[in-house]
Amino acid sequence: MLRFPLALLLACCPAILQAQAQPVPITTAKPGWKWTMDSVHTVVNEVRAGRSLQPAAWPNGSRVAVLLSFDVDNETIAIRYGEPTVGSLAEMQYGARVGLPRIMRLLDKHEIPASFFIPSVSLAITPSMADLIKKSGRHEFAVHGWIHELNMTLPDSAERALLAKAVAELTALTGQKPTGYRAPSWNFSPNTLAILRDMGFRYESSLMADDAPYELVQRGQPTGLVELPVQWILDDAPLFDPRGERYMNPRDVARVWMDEFDKAYEEGTMFVLTLHPHVSGHRSRIVALELLIAHIQAKGAGKVWWATHAEVAEYVRKASKLGEPRAR
């Protein structure tokens, strides 16, 4: 087994090494039935869905906004636990080598924009991905951690240092400063929202409190930060693992996505799909995306706004008169 000690991975950033040396507080979990209502309210209100930012109408008379997003994790999935194998690294390299080019050809064929949430280490391993994504001029780069770290386990200083490093590296590698964030593993630490606010992010896309965009609220106070919610139903990773207990045929998954789109179209809301090049970039799995695109184009001809996450975030911000994100 190849072993890559965490110290080696972080050697390029002394600030992160120093932050990693700080111990993570150990707490003893108390079952919920022993909680006081004050404790319940404190925990529940730390990060909460605020007012809906669902617009009265989407641009150009569209009935629904469709947001395709790709989490370009690749080798970082194998590395983040510190003990990758040659086999796992090869499996993840497929995402950059084969999966992403196959996905880009499909998007280019239909001239569809998308948002690419990328751990900066993933892009540093294969910097040619940046030019491939930038070529059409339609797509957006956004942050997905530094090395797909488990941010829920990190102290504030380490999480903050890693995110600052990720933003700086993505900006240097792509020529575009990202305005959006998606948490690795779709979860927040107790410090994540405060860090995002301090760093000036304009939108976030990791949480699941609605089908429509909404404003994030922290401890009862509006933040001005737009949430573009995700859902495991609309993620390829849980259901496309052939070694997992929940594996589904890609054509069956496509049917679920079509039904989700149909309801979004009926309700006039938003459809957010999350895919991974190392997952959906495989031959039998990209069929699901092909079927979905064909279905959307047939049902929603002329009534679908295909947009990046950043475009939707700014549109709903303006439509709802949300104003600028508020620092702490």
* Cα separations in angstroms, 124 against 41, 92, 140: 42, 14, 17
Contact 320, 276 (CB under 8 A): no
- Residue listed under structure tokens 């927040």: 188
Per-residue pLDDT 10s for the chain (328 aa) are: 444 444 444 444 444 434 433 444 556 788 999 999 999 999 999 999 999 999 999 999 999 999 999 999 999 999 999 999 999 999 999 999 999 999 999 999 999 999 999 999 999 999 999 999 999 999 999 999 999 999 999 999 999 999 999 999 999 999 999 999 999 999 999 999 999 999 999 999 999 999 999 999 999 999 999 999 999 999 999 999 888 788 999 999 999 999 999 999 999 999 999 999 999 999 999 999 999 999 999 998 889 999 999 999 999 999 999 999 998 8
Location of structure tokens 């903050």: 160
To 5 degrees, how large is the angle CA 296–CA 260–CA 202?
90
Domains of the chain: 49-319 (3.20.20.370)
The conformation of residue 326, written as its DSSP 8-state character, comes to P
The DSSP code for 234 is: G
